[in-house]
Amino acid sequence: MTHDSRQLTQFIKQTAAEAGFDACGIAAATVLETEAMHLDSWLAAGCHAGMAYMARNVAKRANPALLVENARSVAVMLLNYKPPQRQPASAPQVAYYAYGVDYHDYIREKLAAVIAAVKTVAPETAIRGFVDTAPVLEKAWAVRAGLGWIGKNNLLISPTLGSFTFIATLMLDAPLEYATQQEKNRCGKCTRCIDACPGRALQPYRLNAHRCISYHNKRKGKNGVPLENYCFGCDYCQLACPWNEKTPPHRMNRWTIPEIVNFSAGDWERLDEPAFNTIFARSALQDVGFAKLKANLNVCTGKPS
């Protein structure tokens, strides 16, 4: 079966919705020149704090044709992860994005479903899906696809979903119908995210990872900044954002790890390595491992490591 670009665009959006994504927009796969310059200047200022992967493949990040030959289109999908229930405030906190199973695995399945569906109607199409697995400037593509703007907290803000969203992309060599309008930046005079950041890691539209809790409590070695109450990640700048106040909770089935929202401070304190490996077997917490998590928990509760 052959599809024209309008039909294929509608098909991808419908299939993405059926796979569970909360939003889908499409952008032309042009070279991201401005965004690449912005990335270069951020790297040159050393704000990536030695995260070497950020500095690799800058050309690929800017040019989709280096990821998919003759790339014509980028479909961007958002998946809301704002939890319907928060952890007890007295417990050491985990960033919302890690309330469930590792989002890479969860989203990869959804992307595979969309790709398989596209292949059934347009088998000749070259198509690849990405979710933080390749050098892709997801936020820039989301802006170009008309899904939101990049806020002063350096994150994508969707006017309907806020910033607690995972971003997945599909690059393909088929022409599609592209977003004709981009969302205008609606941060205005607000500085809530900047004011809420305990480490003063944010300047408008720029994050200094050296000062960011989320960078320190997820990397190997000693933390270089106070962690406040976060043992994994940090959400202060997002929790402060007015665009996250009225957004709906996520609709993901079988995503949440119940212990994350049910554990008391004492449960975290009693957590041992076998239990960690069982309960959090599919969690992003595995990225830091038990020893680092325990050290972070000790910092949160004021105990010596």
Q: What angle do CA 86, 92, 94 make, to 5 degrees?
A: 55
DSSP secondary structure letters along 87-100: PPTTSPEE-GGGSB
Do 270 and 280 contact (CB within 8 A), yes or no?
no
Size of the site for ligand SF4 (CB under 6 A): 24
Query: How far does CA 240 lie from the centroid of its chain?
Result: 17
Residue range at the interface with ligand SF4 (CB under 6 A); choices 10-18, 63-71, 110-118, 199-207: 199-207
Q: Measured from the CB atom, is 127 or 207 closer to ligand SF4?
A: 207
Is residue 241 involved in binding ligand SF4 (CB under 6 A)?
Answer: yes
* One residue of 214, 217, 229, 296 binding ligand SF4 per CB under 6 A: 214
Residues forming beta bridges with residue 256, ordered by sequence position: 100
Task: For the CB of residue 75, give the shortest distance to ligand SF4 in the complex, in Å.
Answer: 25
> Which of these, 29, 33, 31, 25, lies nearest to 9 by C-alpha position?
25
Burial class (CB in 10 A: 0-12, 13-18, 19+), 91: buried
Task: For the CB of residue 127, give the shortest distance to ligand SF4 in the complex, in Å.
Answer: 32
Q: How far apart are CA 103 and CA 284, in angstroms?
A: 8
Is residue 9 involved in binding ligand SF4 (CB under 6 A)?
Answer: no
Q: Measured from the CB atom, is 98 or 172 closer to ligand SF4?
A: 98
Is residue 236 involved in binding ligand SF4 (CB under 6 A)?
Answer: yes
* One residue of 197, 284, 297, 300 binding ligand SF4 per CB under 6 A: 197
What are the residue numbers of the active site?
132
Q: Are strands 93-94 and 230-232 parallel, antiparallel or unpaired?
A: parallel
Residue range at the interface with ligand SF4 (CB under 6 A); choices 99-107, 110-118, 121-129, 205-213: 205-213
Task: For the CB of residue 299, give the shortest distance to ligand SF4 in the complex, in Å.
Answer: 14
Q: Measured from the CB atom, is 96 or 276 closer to ligand SF4?
A: 96
Is residue 213 involved in binding ligand SF4 (CB under 6 A)?
Answer: yes
Is residue 3 involved in binding ligand SF4 (CB under 6 A)?
Answer: no
| Residue number, nearest CB to ligand SF4 | 151
Do 99 and 81 contact (CB within 8 A), yes or no?
yes
Q: Measured from the CB atom, is 16 or 193 closer to ligand SF4?
A: 193
Site for ligand SF4 in 138-177 (CB under 6 A): 151-153, 157
In total, the chain counts a number of residues equal to 305
Which helix (H) or strand (E) segment is 24 a member of?
strand 23-28
Which helix (H) or strand (E) segment is 17 a member of?
helix 5-18
Which helix (H) or strand (E) segment is 117 a member of?
helix 103-121
Q: Measured from the CB atom, is 95 or 174 closer to ligand SF4?
A: 95
Q: How far apart are CA 118 and CA 136, in angstroms?
A: 21
* One residue of 12, 91, 94, 193 binding ligand SF4 per CB under 6 A: 193
Binding site for ligand SF4 (CB under 6 A): 151-153, 157, 187, 190-193, 197, 199, 201-202, 207, 212-214, 234, 236-237, 240-243
